[in-house]
Amino acid sequence: MLSNSLIELDRAHLVHPVASYRGHERMGVRVLRSAKGATVTDDAGRTLVDGFAGLWCVNAGYGHDSIVEAAARQMRELPYATGYFGLGSEPAIRLAAALAERAPGDLNHVYFTLGGSDAVDTTVRLIRNFQTVRGQPGKDQFISLEQGYHGSSTVGAGLTALPAFHANFGLPFDWQHKIPSHYAYRNPAGSDPDAIIAASLAALRAKVEAVGGPGRVAAFYAEPIQGSGGVLVPPRGWMKAMRDLCADLDILFVADEVITGFGRTGPLFACTEDEVVPDLMTTAKGLTSGYVPMGAVFLSDRVYDTIADGAGEAAVGHGYTYSAHPVSAAVGLEVLRLYEDGLLANGRRAGERLMAGLRDLADHPLVGDVRGRGLLAAVELVVDKARKTPLPAAADPARRIFDRAWSNGLVIRAFGNGVLGYAPPLCCTDAEIDAIVERTRRILDQTLEDADVR
């Protein structure tokens, strides 16, 4: 059993990410002790299905000895090597080469970070450098989507469009702009895919004009599927249309694949499903399946060569102590091997089963929308289907849904006013997928009985 002192120590000393500090103090921490496959076990010995793969990151699932061994071997041999001074390590070089080989188009150059936020930060720095050295220093405005998430660094949180990331933080910067999301369920243009794409194209064109024309805009950022905004899936062709408009306007297109990368939606990279080759691509999470921290920024030949030629013999002043960490790279190589040795295929199969199961819940009185692709999905709850009325915010429906899921033996994400988010590991068995769906049905029935959220 969890000793009270652990709860007290947490309350007194550990500051939790994206939490109400006072709310967390009141609730107390839930400590996880161990995990295997697609399940986690808490301090009280209860085993739950992890329908969210930690924080949409443990794509390979928990408990792979081969990953542990790869890390241990590398730690014994060479636990650290800097990339400064022209030095390097074998796993980092091999991982960069393996990723470049698999990345779409000419994304042949890989810059390793510690996670997704500093990957996004890296793109902003390198894009400013790119635009400046090619003689376009005035192209310094950045555009992203409402409901978009691009990390929690100061710069990335400004590209992120979640109100809590801006309020009291002095964000966004005046060079960071947003356009409406595709959000099909609540798009004023309606749910027709062509109308949604046309509305997004018009919004991007209008924003570019509003900030001074293409000569002022450096880049446009989009997630192939918006994750933290509530798993918002654009219509097929949306990303290609936006990418092509960016090319026409000489604006760099950045695909933020921190969640969608590494099998989450089926293939290794989601933008390949739309036949999109971005100018830059950010990844993290599934890159190492959360066993150790790492992110990777992919640069096209053009972006890389322009920056390289611009600097000539001078240093490009961007680097972290832990860029291309050899232990993380060794883990990344082993995780990649596991994906290609059956996990991607299993994930695709499990994803179809999950989507079919969740779609069967669509006639539940509370379900307004079921959406997703592969093992990335959401169920949006409403109290009135015709009017699409969200659950009342005053009842804190997300907290209630998370707690209800937990007591039913399921970990999921609960967003906003009642959106259930799913991102289980790719190793999920049929029985685990079925358990996720069945437990969700129970959560919905219990929520329907809950007078406070009706």
Q: Would you tell me which residues interact with ligand PMP (CB under 6 A)?
A: 115-117, 120, 149-151, 223, 227-228, 256, 258-259, 284
Q: Which helix (H) or strand (E) holds 8?
A: helix 4-13
CA dihedral (62, 298, 114, 17) positive or negative? negative
Closer to ligand PMP by CB, 281 or 382: give it: 281
Name the minimum Å distance from CB 285 to ligand PMP. 6
Residue whose tokens read 């295997």: 36
CA 235 distance to own-chain centroid:
18
Separation between Cα atoms, residue 62 and residue 50, nearest integer Å: 10
Instruction: Provide, rounded to whole angstroms, the least separation between the CB of residue 126 and ligand PMP.
Output: 16
Nearer to ligand PMP, 53 or 246 (CB): 53
Q: Smallest distance, Å, CB 46 to ligand PMP? A: 26
Q: How would DSSP label each residue in 321-373? A: TTTT-HHHHHHHHHHHHHIIIIIHHHHHHHHHHHHHHHHTTTTSTTEEEEEEE
| Bridge-based pairing state of the strands 176-179 and 252-256 | unpaired
Q: Tell me if the bond preceding 104 is cis, omega within 30° of 0.
A: no
- Encode 171-182: b = buried (16+ Cβ within 10 Å), e = exposed: bbeebbbbbbbb
Residues 6 or more apart whose CB falls under 8 angstroms from that of 2 comprise: 31, 43, 44
- Kindly tell me which of 51 and 116 has the beta carbon lying closer to ligand PMP: 116
Residue 305, both tokens: 């060569």
- Would you say 443 and 405 are in contact if contact means Cβ atoms under 8 Å apart? yes
Nearest to ligand PMP of 158, 368 (CB atom): 158
Which CB sits closer to ligand PMP, 331 or 367? 331
Q: How far is the CB of 70 from ligand PMP (least distance, A)?
A: 21
Nearest distance from C-beta of residue 132 to ligand PMP, angstroms: 24
Strands (E), 129-175: 141-145
The smaller minimum CB distance to ligand PMP, of residues 165 and 304, is found at 165
- Residue pointed to by tokens 């964000």: 171
| Residue 176 or 408 with smaller CB distance to ligand PMP | 176
Q: Measured from the CB of residue 23, what is the shortest distance to ligand PMP in angstroms?
A: 21
Query: Tokens at residue 77, please?
Result: 């041999």
Cα distance between residue 251 and residue 248, in whole Å? 8
The alpha carbon of 250 is separated from its chain's Cα centroid by a whole number of angstroms, namely: 26
Give the residue with the Cβ less far from ligand PMP, 121 or 334: 121
Shortest CB 415 distance to ligand PMP, Å: 12
Work out how close the CB of 271 gets to ligand PMP at its nearest, in angstroms, rounded to a whole number. Answer: 13
DSSP state of 316: -
CB closest to ligand PMP, residue no: 116
